Amino acid sequence: MSIMKSIDPNKLTPKDTYRLLTRVLVPRPIAFVSTLSEDGTLNGAPFSFFNLVSSTPPLLSVAVNRPDEAFKDTSRNIRERGEFVVHLVDLDNVEAINETAANLPSDESEIERSGLTPTPSEVIGVDAIKESPIRFECTLKHAIPLENHGRVQGDLFIGKIERIHLNEEIDKGKDPKLVARLGGEEYAEIGKTFTLRRPK
């Protein structure tokens, strides 16, 4: 048995807590989230504090931090409009999507700058991008402020999936080539898989 170390996250700096947790809680799927600002700018950014919450009802979650207690454009737009599109990230689009993580002023579109192609959504007023093989049109169900030592340092958004868009090959059963986030600036592809039968 290896020796276990006990760490109190309250005694780590926020940076060290982030580094440790994001290095060990892997792999994390990546959501590329498009939102619309009040002035009509289509905003896009990647988020790996992201997962499926429930299939009935179909819910997903994205957590966005508030650096120095200020909203990122994604948070402000989700709170104001109550709508957003979550795209999954694959080997073909990961580099363009990484470009969108640049910190641009809220009236500049990261989507335009990264050469991604906007396309209208079916049931919400926020455009999607064409480059992702899987996307979900979402409406906001819950916005939970994340408090730490008396300060709100992030928001957990739970979105209801109103439409699922898949490219035809994936719809017919082909596996998507999705990528996941590891620690630091590392990413992973899905590696070796295996089957395990569940006991009856």
Q: Is the dihedral of CA 155, 39, 119, 138 positive or negative?
A: positive
Can you say how many angstroms the Cα of residue 76 is from the centroid of all Cα atoms in its chain? 15
Question: At closest approach, how far in Å is the CB of 19 from ligand FMN?
Answer: 14
Among 34, 48, 61, 114, binds ligand FMN (CB under 6 A): 48
Residue 136 touching ligand FMN (CB under 6 A): no
Among 73, 83, 90, 137, binds ligand FMN (CB under 6 A): 73
Binding range to ligand FMN, per CB under 6 A, among 96-104, 111-119, 124-132, 169-177: 96-104
Backbone angles phi, psi at 4, to 5 degrees: -95, 140
Residue 47 touching ligand FMN (CB under 6 A): yes
Can you say how many angstroms the Cα of residue 27 is from the centroid of all Cα atoms in its chain? 13
Binding mask 177-196 for ligand FMN (x = CB under 6 A): ----x---------------
CA Rg value for the chain: 18
> For binding to ligand FMN (CB under 6 A), which residues are involved?
30, 43, 45-49, 63-65, 72-74, 98, 101, 103, 181
